[in-house]
């Protein structure tokens, strides 16, 4: 265990950085951002990745996701621009509706996965990943350049907090008069939260749980006040502040893709299994020609869920083998799953090995450890009774 | 967290407690804290030889894999079987949750290890 000193480029910080440090969070460089990975303790309670993960599955967790970027596209041809630049069909959106989508390269591979919100006619708000912010902004500007619209990088205008878990609505209801039950999943509204008027409240997240993301003013004082009041209001629900460690294991159990892992500039939509959100029938868009060809020719590899059936943990980048030990693919994300209490992984393998029940191996430190293709998502939140 | 004065330490964050010709080995509180929630420990078999400064196993937390380095050379006389089912003991009591016992081959190797005070200083410097 050796700490490597790397050349320190200036890390970007969210407005809550001092708050995380005061809570004793372990900080890491994530996509150029100095972010909390976990909070070992919280007000004398046991914290850490597993406790944070379970708090989110069983009660509620609070995440600072202000490192995520945001792009606003508005103007007379904003709709046409969004249709051209993204793979989902924005004609299905209405005011207050959001959709999962992606920005694609002409070859049908990923610039990034995104959420597109329709604020109003010809006014869209796109949430993008932290590590790809500059790339995405430039890409969207270029993709929209031939349309009469304005593309603005508005990522620094918000502190974005994710309140996630089965108790998220109960918690947020203590802080707003807004009718939260009326906001369905992948919908949003504006309401007063903790005295902050016109706060964007979206029923979105990256944990596989019910939950909300709220966008508040980015100054340190307001950000810290909201953060602390959410934690205070969440006490009765067993809230924990959660870091990127739990965010990663939660999204992995729910099979939500992570850029640079399940999706990248060399993986196409069909390989990633995200074609449900790719509407080739909507008309031409960036990547559509290449994807029509992929649809005809078929894919050479497919994303599958693996569960380790022998003792061992699959990790990002580990090789996947068939039963005879021949290398057939690799793990994109692998980890112990704190809620499921299993060792799980996502991996790319040729389609003939993708059938549920197929026995495979993951090479762990030179040894093939038994694994099996299982249905995904690994975790599905229970239906409301 | 106090580092027991009668243990010796490596710069890779293992401890060894020497009792006659046998050394008991584990990882330090600093190590468990950096790793986070420990979920898996892979140890050598009883009877295996370990070499000072070389890997003798691995410890995994939810988010990371780390190699374990032997403080001394010798033959493994016991492993802590309890860690197979309760690896979180390393988080809760790192300086008691031992991993292996080694019959020390060359006691002189102990001289190059750190005292508790030196290890504490080393950790403080490493942590900036």
Residue of A372, A352, A378 whose CA lies nearest to A360: A372
A260: left (phi over 0), alpha (psi -120 to 50) or beta: left
In this predicted structure, what is the pLDDT of residue B126? 80
Tell me how close the Cα of A71 comes to any Cα of chain B, in angstroms. Answer: 31
- For chain B, the farthest-separated pair of C-alpha atoms sits apart, in whole angstroms, at 40
Name the DSSP letter for residue B88. T
- How many CB pairs below 8 A link A and B? 44
In this predicted structure, what is the pLDDT of residue A96? 98
Asked if B63 and A49 come within 8 Å (Cβ–Cβ), the reply is yes
Say which residues have a Cβ less than 8 Å from residue A57's Cβ, sequence separation at least 6: A165, A166, A209, A250, A339
Q: How far apart, in whole angstroms, are the C-alpha atoms of residue B86 and residue B64?
A: 18
Tell me how close the Cα of B70 comes to any Cα of chain A, in angstroms. Answer: 13
Asked if B36 and A365 come within 8 Å (Cβ–Cβ), the reply is no
- Per-residue pLDDT averaged across B51-65, rounded? 96
ipTM: 0.89
Please name the residue that has the structure tokens 């790397």: A6
Strand partners, A346: A305, A333
In this predicted structure, what is the pLDDT of residue B108? 96
Contacts of B35 in chain A (CB under 8 A): 1
Tell me how close the Cα of A377 comes to any Cα of chain B, in angstroms. Answer: 19
Q: How far apart, in whole angstroms, are the C-alpha atoms of residue A151 and residue A132?
A: 16
Tell me how close the Cα of A320 comes to any Cα of chain B, in angstroms. Answer: 18
What is the CB neighbour count within 10 angstroms for residue A134?
12
**Cβ-based interface (< 8 Å): residues of A facing B:** 1-3, 26, 37-38, 40, 48-50, 245, 248-249, 311-313, 315, 335-336, 338, 365
The confidence band for B127, taking pLDDT boundaries of 50, 70 and 90, is: low
- Per-residue pLDDT averaged across A49-65, rounded? 98
Asked if A1 and B65 come within 8 Å (Cβ–Cβ), the reply is no
In this predicted structure, what is the pLDDT of residue A169? 98
Residue of chain B nearest A312, judged by CA positions: B40
Could you give the C-alpha distances from A101 to A114, A186, A250, A278, A385, in angstroms and in order?
Answer: 5, 12, 20, 7, 30
Q: What angle do CA A25, A136, A163 make, to 5 degrees?
A: 40
- Per-residue pLDDT averaged across B67-94, rounded? 97
Judged on CB neighbours under 10 Å (0-12, 13-18, 19+), A145 is: exposed
- Tens digit of each residue's pLDDT (9 = 90 or more) over A288-302: 999 999 999 999 999
- Tens digit of each residue's pLDDT (9 = 90 or more) over A155-169: 999 999 999 999 999
- Tens digit of each residue's pLDDT (9 = 90 or more) over A299-338: 999 999 999 999 999 999 999 999 999 999 999 999 999 9
Q: How far apart, in whole angstroms, are the C-alpha atoms of residue A368 and residue B94?
A: 30
Residue of B90, B127, B34, B58 whose CA lies nearest to A38: B34
Asked if A26 and B60 come within 8 Å (Cβ–Cβ), the reply is no
Contact A68/A108 with Cβ under 8 angstroms? no
Residue of chain B nearest A245, judged by CA positions: B63
Asked if A48 and B36 come within 8 Å (Cβ–Cβ), the reply is yes
Of B35, B62, B126, the CB nearest to A338: B62
Residue of chain A nearest B60, judged by CA positions: A313
Of B13, B34, B62, the CB nearest to A336: B62
β-pairing, A342-349 vs A302-308, is: antiparallel
Domains of chain A: 17-66+158-253 (3.30.1360.120), 69-157 (3.30.70.1400), 300-374 (2.40.30.110)
Q: What angle do CA B78, B82, B86 make, to 5 degrees?
A: 145
pLDDT at A5 over 80: no
Contacts of B65 in chain A (CB under 8 A): 313, 315
Strand partners, A161: A64, A214
Tell me how close the Cα of B126 comes to any Cα of chain A, in angstroms. Answer: 7
Say which residues have a Cβ less than 8 Å from residue A285's Cβ, sequence separation at least 6: A83, A84, A85, A86, A87, A104
Contacts of A38 in chain B (CB under 8 A): 36
- Per-residue pLDDT averaged across B46-72, rounded? 97
Strand partners, B68: B57
- In three-state secondary structure terms, A192 is strand
Asked if B36 and A315 come within 8 Å (Cβ–Cβ), the reply is no
CA A284 to chain CA mean position, Å: 27
Could you give the C-alpha distances from A153 to A133, A138, A206, A247, in angstroms and in order?
Answer: 9, 9, 22, 25
Contact A103/A110 with Cβ under 8 angstroms? yes
In this predicted structure, what is the pLDDT of residue A8? 55
Q: How far apart, in whole angstroms, are the C-alpha atoms of residue A120 and residue A74?
A: 9
pLDDT at A270 over 50: yes
**Sheet containing A150-153, strands listed edge to edge, beginning at the edge strand earlier in sequence:** A98-104, A110-120, A123-128, A69-74, A150-153
- In three-state secondary structure terms, A250 is helix
Kindly provide the b/e burial profile for residues A253-282, where b requires at least 16 CB atoms within 10 angstroms of the residue's own CB. Answer: bbbbbbbbbbbbeebbbbbbbbbeebbbeb
In this predicted structure, what is the pLDDT of residue A1? 42
Of A38, A315, A338, the CB nearest to B65: A315
Judged on CB neighbours under 10 Å (0-12, 13-18, 19+), A355 is: exposed
CATH 2.40.50.100 given to domain B7-126? yes
Please name the residue that has the structure tokens 């950000």: A223
How far separated are the first and last CA of chain A, in Å rounded? Answer: 47
Residue from B34, B38, B63, B64 whose CB has the most chain A CBs within 10 Å, to mutate: B63
Q: How far apart, in whole angstroms, are the C-alpha atoms of residue A119 and residue A79?
A: 11
Of B39, B40, B62, the CB nearest to A245: B62
pTM above 0.90, yes or no: yes
- Tens digit of each residue's pLDDT (9 = 90 or more) over B84-126: 999 999 999 999 999 999 999 999 999 999 999 999 999 998 8
Of B31, B36, B58, the CB nearest to A38: B36
The tokens for A122 are: 């010809």
pLDDT at A12 over 70: yes
Strand partners, A96: none
- Per-residue pLDDT averaged across A191-201, rounded? 98
């Amino acid at each position: 265990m050796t700490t490597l000193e790397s050349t320190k480029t200036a890390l970007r910080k969210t407005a809550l950085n001092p708050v995380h440090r005061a809570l004793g969070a372990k900080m890491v460089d994530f996509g150029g951002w100095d972010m909390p990975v976990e909070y070992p303790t919280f007000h004398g309670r046991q914290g850490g990745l597993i406790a944070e993960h379970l708090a989110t599955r069983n009660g509620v967790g609070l995440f600072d996701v202000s490192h995520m970027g945001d792009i606003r596209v508005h103007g007379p041809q904003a709709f046409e621009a969004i249709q051209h630049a993204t793979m989902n069909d924005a004609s299905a959106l209405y005011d207050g509706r959001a959709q999962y989508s992606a920005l694609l390269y002409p070859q049908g591979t990923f610039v990034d996965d995104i959420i597109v919100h329709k604020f109003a006619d010809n006014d869209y708000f796109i949430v993008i990943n932290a590590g790809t912010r500059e790339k995405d902004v430039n890409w969207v500007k270029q993709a929209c350049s031939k349309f009469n619209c304005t593309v603005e990088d508005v990522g620094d205008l918000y502190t974005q907090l994710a309140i996630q878990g089965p108790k998220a609505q109960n918690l947020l209801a203590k802080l707003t008069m807004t009718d939260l039950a009326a906001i369905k999943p992948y919908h949003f509204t504006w309401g007063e939260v903790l005295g902050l008027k016109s706060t964007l409240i979206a029923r979105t997240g990256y944990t596989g749980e019910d939950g909300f993301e709220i966008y508040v003013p980015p100054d340190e004082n307001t950000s810290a006040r909201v953060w602390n009041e959410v934690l205070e209001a969440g006490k009765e629900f067993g809230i924990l502040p959660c870091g990127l460690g739990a965010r990663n294991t939660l999204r992995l159990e729910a099979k939500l893709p992570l850029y640079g892992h399940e999706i990248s500039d060399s993986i196409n939509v069909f390989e990633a299994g995200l074609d449900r959100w790719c509407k080739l029938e909507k008309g031409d868009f960036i990547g559509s020609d290449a994807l029509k060809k992929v649809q005809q020719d078929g894919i050479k590899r497919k994303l599958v869920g693996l569960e380790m059936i022998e003792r061992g943990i699959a990790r990002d980048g580990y090789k996947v083998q068939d039963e005879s030990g021949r290398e057939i693919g690799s793990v994109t994300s692998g980890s112990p799953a704190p809620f499921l209490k299993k060792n799980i992984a996502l991996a790319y393998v040729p389609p003939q090995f993708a059938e549920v029940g197929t026995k495979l191996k993951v090479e762990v430190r030179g040894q093939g450890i038994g694994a099996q293709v299982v249905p995904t998502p690994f975790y599905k939140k229970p239906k409301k009774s | 967290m106090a580092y027991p004065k009668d243990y010796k330490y490596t710069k890779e964050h293992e401890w060894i407690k020497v009792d006659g010709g046998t050394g008991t080995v584990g990882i330090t509180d600093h190590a468990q804290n950096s790793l986070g929630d420990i979920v898996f420990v892979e140890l050598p078999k009883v009877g295996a030889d370990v070499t000072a400064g070389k890997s003798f196993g691995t410890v995994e937390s939810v988010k990371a894999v780390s190699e374990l380095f032997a403080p001394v050379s010798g033959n493994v006389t016991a492993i802590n079987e309890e860690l197979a089912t309760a690896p979180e003991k390393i988080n809760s009591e790192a300086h008691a949750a031992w991993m292996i016992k080694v019959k020390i081959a060359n006691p002189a190797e102990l001289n190059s290890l750190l005292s508790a005070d030196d290890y504490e200083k080393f950790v403080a410097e490493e942590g900036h």
